Amino acid sequence: MEVRLVYFDGCPSWQLAWKRLRQVLDRLDWAEVPISGVRVETVDEASAAGFAGSPTILVDGRDLFRRSTEWSGGLACRLYRTRAGSVGVPGVEDIMSALMERVIDDDDEC
């Protein structure tokens, strides 16, 4: 499993997203799975990296969360729709649920 966190330096949420993502991986006994940080500085870098606003969590190259809106092309912060409303970082439980759904879906494709 490849996990990447795509962000830009001006994003106030990427470090918390990293921390929560690490928590989830550790809870699932996937502590050996590294998180690759992908810092983007230009729109071209963002587009090539699968960026959909900062922070974007990619698992095996696919966005872990459904996008609430299409990325407009700039280096902007991302909002996630959760049970608590729109937030800059998904909660631990939201990340865990999305990751488990992805793993189950990937297993079904095999």
Structural domain for 32, as ranges: 3-109
- 6: amino acid identity, one letter: V
- Coil, helix or strand at residue 54: strand
| pLDDT tens, residue by residue, 26-82 | 999 999 999 999 999 999 999 899 999 999 999 999 999 977 556 667 899 998 988
Domain count, the chain: 1
Q: Angle at the Cα of 34 (from 87 to 56), degrees rounded to 5?
A: 30
Band the pLDDT of 85: cuts 50, 70, 90. confident
Q: What's the pLDDT at 8? A: 96
CATH of the domain at 80: 3.40.30
